Chain A
Amino acid sequence: MAEQRIPFATHAETTVLGADEIVLNMGPQHPSTHGVLRVKLRLDGEKVIGSECVIGYLHRGVEKIAEHRTYTQFAPYVDRMDYVAAVSNGLGYCEAVEKLLGAEAPLRARVIRTILTELQRIASHLFWLGTHALDIGALTPLFYCLREREEILKIFEKYCGARLTTHAFRIGGLQYEAYDEFEKDVERFCKPFDKRVDEYESLLTSNRIWVGRTKGIGILTAKEAIDYAASGPVIRASGVKWDIRKAMPYAAYDLYKFEIPTGKNGDTYDRYIVRMEEMRQSRLICLQAIENIPAGPIMGKVGKVLKPPPGEVYHSIEAPKGELGYYIVSDGTTQPYRVRIRPPSLINLEAFDKMIRGHLVADVVAIIGTLDIVLGEVDR
């Protein structure tokens, strides 16, 4: 087996002092590459003059597995992609298959789906905030964030028995009826949550060091964001008002009032502000939704054995990290012919090289953090 070695130094004339470039290998075992991302950095001193993301360390062939499972059997696999936001993954898949079948989940099911996905969005953003702050050196917010996330996970656990890889939904509706205390639990979490977000903001938003570390870092202009097909908070922070919940409403989002926060400069600070505001908006959606959960069945008519007619469908939802799309091709059998997933983390990661050039090593972790990638989803 040939030994693979990264060269210690490569010769180039681009460095300011005429010194050798350093090639620094970050990851796949690095404390702040959020899993197993490997980044090869070309450095001039501490300045980054080029980068290359090496992915695939967590590749499990999720898309290929789909071709050998029935539509129902494949549903739990999608939970393992973005394991920080499993509920959103499940929602996207279930709705895509429903679209393929020409069926629709009943209203009650859609409302409960909305509540759970919005809670999941809050949980995902909380985890992002904690780890992002930790990367930039603020140790404490992580624990406050995990404290609140724990409450959400407890609601998930009560609802479907699982905390992380929930598999909460079923094609055609819901697997479980909402438990008795469901509304109360959600309300108990959401009511004081506004104050909690203020608490995080008091630690960071106007902190000089935090502002210094995030303002002007990793700028992505609106045009660049569109060119890179970025989505989610990353594109919204650049000033593009693009949110699939509004643009192509799914689940029960058309019933509720909420705003899409956008940024101006497209830097790390704006992405931070956008996500903080999104948590507040998600809380408002949850509060609106639990006020009136309609009665009725939780399963639509989809039949025991799912056999969609031959054809293809693309359905996307606004996952916490961006546009999560499922492209499913059916050949009329019980198993999908092809499932192609558009993972928001992967597409957003493409912009990494553009964002990091010219910044320092310390900004690498800030930018990885601000993209909010989950390697389970990048690699699938």
Chain B
Amino acid sequence: MQTLIHFVISIWVQLVCAVVIVAVLPLVAGYIVLMERKVMADMQARLGPMRVGPHGLLQPIADAVKLLLKEDIIPDEADKGIFWIAPLISVTAGMLAMSALAIGPWFQIADLNVGLLFVVGIGALGIFGIVLGGWSSNSHYSLLGALRSAAQLVSYETAAGLAIVGALLLAGTLSTREIIEAQEDYGVWFVFAAPVGFFIYVVASIAETNRAPFDLPEAESELVAGYMTEYSGFRWALYFLAEYTNMVVVASIATTLFLGGWLRPFAGTPAFNFLDGFPSLLMLVVAGYCFYRAPKQPVKIQKMFLAAVGGLFILAAGILAAPLMAPPGSLVASAKPGLHGAFWFLLKVGLYLYLFMWLRFTFPRYRFDQLMRLGWQFLIPLSIVNVMGIGLALVLHRQLGWSHWTAFPLTTILTLVVAGMLASAGAKKDKEHAVVGEEA
């Protein structure tokens, strides 16, 4: 008994973090969906969900209830066991990947020494869920969707992996925590040291999470819903959850590797310390908007609800401001890195997700052969060149004593020149194969 208690005490932070991730992530995914719908509506000159709760704030909960209560249909000719377990694999993989990511210096389940490798590896396992689900549905649409998904992941995981390698060369470690600390030491986020690598990772991560313009596995206008065509109700919701969890995972990887993780912009420069006030200010602005909109709601309960939301944001602002107000050295003041770190991390993740949505609503969808060509003929060669460029920059910097400011821009320009050459070679090839429809 004694040892058990000791064991629990020794892992209680990890336990709490794990419970929070498993319990909160579905809710977060729901609200990312709401955010996506609102962003989409904003770009399409309409309002989006407005009915459930003020400004549709309760829509995710209504959706979740609906999906839970829906009939769970398993097609007659499906392979029932695999059909049953496939979405679970996807979700589990996504959630497991979250465990090695550090959301702020305090919030991390496990600081593995192979952290990033673990995240990428486990994240890629989610594809099993998609392939098995598509295969076991016994439907042509699902099968095509699953095949597309598998091919896409294989191609783009390579590019994403090589882009990650570039940043790892800079950091010199695989532990997510140490990667961020390395960026603090450099005094610059890796996105500025390796912009090409960041670009490659953005493109590859969109493709990897099956988001538009690379959403071919579930292209609704071609394959109905791709691998999810035969799924309904809660199983379908699990796939959905997996997709959004994966989005959060890739956004977190990008934030950790390239965007400085939990670091504030200009973290090392005391002149920019006023930025510490930004979290509270942002919360206050949101709260102010809630209070401004509250009287305009049609029903009394909605007015109260929106006012309560505003109150919550004021509370959050207070919590974020407290460490700044408290006397230095006190317990409250020492909470600053944890709270503000989490804020900046989540803000960066949110902005990265916004970028995903922005691209989704702006671009048409790639065709499968074009997607493959982009992956194999452009992104993968470019990412290899990028790794070599960063290696060169590090040699110049560390062995020959060049400064950061000359080594990295030089290699970046070199990489961009190669990118231009690759693109023009691709365009030439396109022209040669311009007419495809003649053969059959």
Which residues from chain A sit less than 8 Å from chain B, CB to CB?
A: 22, 24-25, 30-32, 46-49, 133-140, 142-144, 147, 203-204, 207, 209-210, 212-213, 215-219, 355, 357-365
CA of A357 to CA of B360 in the docked complex: distance in angstroms?
29
A137-B215, A217-B437 given; A362·B45 CB < 8 A: no
Interfacial chain A residues near B435, Cβ < 8 Å:
216, 219
Interface contact A24-B140, CB-CB below 8 Å: yes
Distance A142 CA – B44 CA, assembled complex (angstroms):
8
CB contact under 8 A between A139 and B437, given known A46-B144, A212-B367, A362-B216: no
- Which residues of B351-365 are within 8 A (CB) of A? 360-365
Contact A136 B45, beta carbon cutoff 8 Å: no
B44 touches A136 (CB 8 A): no
Inside 8 A of B141's CB, which chain A residues have their CB? 24
Tell which of B46, B219, B360, B364 touches A133, judged by Cβ atoms closer than 8 Å. B364
A32:B222 contact, CB within 8 angstroms: yes
Q: Which residues of A contact B267 (CB under 8 A)?
A: none
Contact A30 B224 (CB under 8 A): yes
Contact B364 A365 (CB under 8 A): no
User: B440 and A210: CB pair below 8 A?
Assistant: no
* CB of A226, distance to nearest CB on chain B (Å): 19
- Extra inter-chain contacts (4) besides given A139-B44, A355-B437, A359-B437, CB under 8 Å: A137-B215, A144-B44, A203-B362, A209-B364
Q: Is B366 an interface residue (CB 8 A)?
A: yes
Q: Which of A32, A140, A218, A355 contacts B221 (CB 8 A)?
A: A32
Q: Can you name the residue of chain B whose Cβ is closest to the Cβ of A362?
A: B367
Distance (whole angstroms) from the CB of B75 to the closest CB of chain A: 14
Q: Are A147 and B364 in contact (CB under 8 A)?
A: no
Of B220, B370, B438, the residue contacting A358 (CB under 8 A) is B438
What per-residue 1/0 map shows which CB atoms of B412-435 lie under 8 Å from chain A? 000000000000000000000011
> Is B221 within 8 A of A135, CB to CB?
yes
**Contact between A207 and B45 (Cβ–Cβ < 8 Å)?**
no
Contact A140 B44, CB 8 Å, known A133-B364, A213-B367, A362-B222: yes
A361 and B437 in contact (CB under 8 A), knowing A140-B43, A207-B364? no
Smallest Cβ-Cβ distance to B434: which chain A residue: A216
B360 smallest CB distance to A (angstroms): 7
Residue B84 CB within 8 A of the other chain: no
Judge if B213 is at the interface, Cβ distance under 8 Å. Answer: yes
The one of A144, A209, A219, A358 in contact with B363, judged by C-beta atoms closer than 8 angstroms, is A209
Whether, in the assembled complex, B40 has its beta carbon less than 8 Å from a beta carbon of chain A, the answer is yes
Chain A hits for B219, CB < 8 A? 137, 362
Interface residues of B (CB under 8 A from A): 40, 43-46, 140-141, 144, 212-213, 215-216, 219-224, 360-370, 434-440
Is B361 a contact partner of A140 (Cβ separation < 8 A)? yes
**Least CB separation from A14: chain B residue:** B440
Bound-state Cα–Cα, A251 to B113, Å: 79
Q: Which 6 A-B pairs have the closest CB atoms?
A: A137-B365, A143-B44, A358-B440, A32-B221, A138-B364, A357-B440
Residue contact A49 to B440, C-beta cutoff 8 Å: yes
Known contacts A143-B46, A144-B45: A216-B364 contact under CB 8 Å: no
What is the minimal beta-carbon distance from B1 to any residue of chain A, in angstroms?
59
**A7 CA to B46 CA, complexed, in Å:** 44
Q: CB-CB < 8 A to A138: which residues of B? A: 362-365
**What is the distance, in angstroms, from B404's C-beta to the closest C-beta of chain A?**
34
In the docked arrangement, what's the CA distance between A266 and B90, Å?
A: 44
Let me know if A31 and B437 touch, CB within 8 A.
Answer: no
Q: Is the CB–CB distance between B369 and A360 below 8 Å? A: yes
Residues of A near B366 (CB, < 8 A) are 137, 209, 212-213
Q: Which residues of A contact B44 (CB under 8 A)?
A: 139-140, 142-144
Indicate if the CB atoms of A140 and B362 lie closer than 8 Å.
Answer: yes
Query: A304–B362 Cα gap in the complex (Å)?
Result: 55
Q: When the two chains form their complex, are residues B370 and A136 in contact, meaning their CB atoms are under 8 A apart?
A: no
Q: Contacts of B368 on A, CB cut-off 8 Å?
A: 46, 360, 362
Q: Which residue of B has the minimal Cβ distance to A210?
A: B364
CA of A360 to CA of B370, assembled, Å: 11
Cα A47 to Cα B367 with chains together (Å): 12
Residues of A within 8 A of B223 (CB): 361
Is the beta-carbon distance between B221 and A359 smaller than 8 angstroms?
no
Given the interface pairs A22-B140, A143-B46, the reply to whether A137 lies near B436 with Cβ below 8 Å is no
**The residue from A47, A147, A213 contacting B45, defined by CB atoms under 8 A apart:** A147
Contact B213 A358 (CB under 8 A): no
Task: Please give the distance in Å from A30's CB to the nearest CB on chain B.
Answer: 6
* A-B residue pairs in contact (CB < 8 Å), sample of 15: A31-B221, A134-B221, A137-B364, A139-B40, A139-B44, A140-B44, A207-B364, A210-B364, A212-B366, A213-B367, A215-B434, A218-B437, A219-B435, A360-B368, A362-B367
Residues of A within 8 A of B437 (CB): 216-219, 355, 357-359
Q: How far is the CB of A90 from chain B (nearest CB, A)?
A: 31
Residues of chain B contacted by A358 (CB below 8 angstroms): 436-440
A361-B222, A362-B367 known; A209-B144 Cβ under 8 A: no
A359 and B436 in contact (CB under 8 A), knowing A22-B140, A138-B363, A139-B44? yes
The interface residues of chain A lying within 8 Å CB-to-CB of B364 are 133, 136-138, 204, 207, 209-210, 213
Report the separation of the CA atoms of residues A219 and B370 in the bound assembly, to the nearest whole angstrom.
18
Q: Across the interface, which residues of B come within 8 angstroms of A209, CB to CB?
A: 213, 363-366, 370
Contact A137 B434 (CB under 8 A): no
A136 touches B144 (CB 8 A): no
CA–CA, A213 and B360, complex, Å: 16
A143 interface neighbour in B45, B212, B360, B438, Cβ under 8 Å: B45
A213-B365 CB under 8 A given contacts A30-B224, A139-B40: yes
Task: Tell me how far the C-beta of A144 lies from the nearest C-beta in chain B, rounded to whole angstroms.
Answer: 7
Which A residue sits closest to B435, measured CB to CB?
A: A216
B144: A residues at CB distance < 8 A: 24, 46, 361
